[in-house]
């Protein structure tokens, strides 16, 4: 896991140096519909909760239609609060419509004994830029789904998993 995190940091720093003159910053917030699923070979239990998220991001232009977007988010859901670090790639499909994908790393807060605090997964989603007028052109709506890949049970026996997924729907503003 340390190797993955180190490779990710090196990649991020490399991309920051690639085209550092075109960086935009922004803030975002919205609703998180989380799903905590516990499975073993016989049964599965799913607990769904609703919470919120808020945080900031940077958009780093890489190529014409590609943007690298690291984010830092606080995600608050009952008993599953976490600091989330998605490392997204944004691709502009056509004007105002974007597709997003990338890995996400999370650090669960207030974890009980026997559970992991480091979470990771893959996020995919779409975003739509909203142009109200020429003075407000950084507004966007976004929806993403996080596929949790980490087993959040420490030293879990074979076949027993506890994974966290989330659907994020929100609004953001990119400062020009």
d(CA 171, CA 139): 7
Report residue 2's pLDDT band, with 50, 70 and 90 as the boundaries: low
Evaluate whether 28 touches 172 at the Cβ level (below 8 Å).
yes
Report residue 134's pLDDT band, with 50, 70 and 90 as the boundaries: low
d(CA 80, CA 48): 11
Question: Which CATH number does 2-175 carry?
Answer: 2.40.160.20
Reply yes or no on whether the pLDDT at 5 is more than 70: no
User: Region 86-92: what's the mean pLDDT?
Assistant: 96
The tokens for 72 are: 């830092």
- Please state the pTM of the whole predicted model: 0.83
Summarize pLDDT for 31-62 with one digit per residue, the tens: 999 999 999 878 899 999 999 999 999 999 98
Instruction: Tell me which residue of 98, 91, 84 sits closest to 56, measured CA to CA.
Output: 84
The tokens for 5 are: 């995190």
d(CA 31, CA 76): 9
pLDDT at 9: 54
Reply yes or no on whether the pLDDT at 19 is more than 50: no
């Amino acid at each position: 896991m340390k190797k993955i995190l180190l490779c990710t940091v090196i990649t991020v720093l490399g991309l920051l140096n690639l085209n550092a003159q075109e960086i935009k910053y922004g803030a975002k917030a919205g609703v998180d519909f989380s799903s905590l699923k516990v499975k073993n070979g016989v049964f599965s239990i799913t607990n769904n909760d609703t919470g919120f998220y808020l945080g900031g991001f940077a958009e780093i232009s890489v190529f014409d239609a590609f943007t690298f977007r690291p984010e830092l988010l606080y995600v608050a859901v009952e008993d599953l609060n976490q600091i989330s670090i998605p490392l997204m790639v944004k691709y502009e499909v056509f004007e105002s419509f974007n597709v997003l994908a990338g890995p996400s790393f999370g650090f669960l807060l207030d974890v009980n004994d026997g559970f992991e605090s480091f979470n990771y997964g893959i996020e995919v989603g779409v975003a739509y830029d909203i142009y109200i007028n020429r003075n407000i052109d950084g507004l966007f709506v976004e929806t993403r789904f996080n596929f949790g890949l980490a087993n959040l049970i420490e030293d879990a026996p074979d076949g027993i998993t506890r994974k966290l997924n989330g659907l994020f729907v929100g609004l953001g503003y990119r400062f020009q």
